[in-house]
């Protein structure tokens, strides 16, 4: 509906192409496929509120943690927060995951790292539980 109205307004040329309205119409038409992707795939959220809610504690704490550690501390913190949120989004207890993975990490090769991603680790845990239950 909005795209039809936008196309109609653009065709009528009732605005200057380089005006603010012309820019807004061109921008909307350019972004239209990305703006409506959630209509085509029901798994895509209309907004990113769940992500924003998940990272809010980190965002609030940024000022408090601004001067801790060395220059690379921020990047390391971001990596850890990403891992923790990946665990939470999959229903994994982050402390259990980190304890096991960090214990195993010194003995792993580079090729085995993909086996301890939160998703792969969770699947392996489910398989182990099923084997023990049988």
Residue 113 shares a structural domain with residue 58: yes
The dihedral over CA atoms of 25, 44, 74, 68, expressed in degrees to the nearest 10, equals 110
Residue 90 CA to residue 121 CA, distance in Å, equals: 11
Residue 61 shares a structural domain with residue 115: yes
- The segment with the largest mean pLDDT, out of 3-17, 36-50, 110-124, is 110-124
Structural domain range at position 28: 2-40
State the total domains in the chain.
Answer: 2
Lowest-confidence segment of 8-12, 84-88, 101-105, 118-122 by average pLDDT = 8-12
Residue 34 shares a structural domain with residue 68: no
Q: Which two tokens stand for residue 86?
A: 């990946």
Residue 61 shares a structural domain with residue 27: no
Residue 58 shares a structural domain with residue 94: yes
Whether the pTM exceeds 0.75: the reply is no
Residue 33 shares a structural domain with residue 53: no
Residue 12 shares a structural domain with residue 73: no
Identify whether the C-beta of residue 57 lies closer than 8 Å to the C-beta of residue 86. no
Residue 115 shares a structural domain with residue 58: yes
Residue 57 shares a structural domain with residue 20: no
Instruction: List phi, psi (to 5°) of 65.
Output: -100, 10
């Amino acid at each position: 509906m909005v795209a039809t109205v936008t196309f109609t307004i653009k065709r009528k040329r009732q605005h200057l192409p380089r005006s603010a309205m012309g820019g807004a119409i061109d921008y909307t038409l350019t972004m239209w496929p990305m703006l409506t992707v959630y209509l085509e795939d029901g798994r895509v959220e209309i907004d990113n509120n769940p992500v924003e809610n998940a990272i809010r504690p980190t965002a609030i704490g940024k000022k408090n943690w601004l001067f801790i550690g060395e220059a690379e501390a921020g990047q390391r913190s971001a990596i850890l927060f990403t891992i923790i949120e990946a665990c939470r989004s999959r229903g994994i207890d982050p402390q259990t995951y980190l304890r096991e993975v960090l214990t195993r990490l010194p003995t792993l090769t580079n090729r085995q790292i993909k086996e301890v991603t939160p998703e792969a680790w969770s699947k392996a845990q489910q398989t182990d539980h099923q084997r023990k239950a049988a």
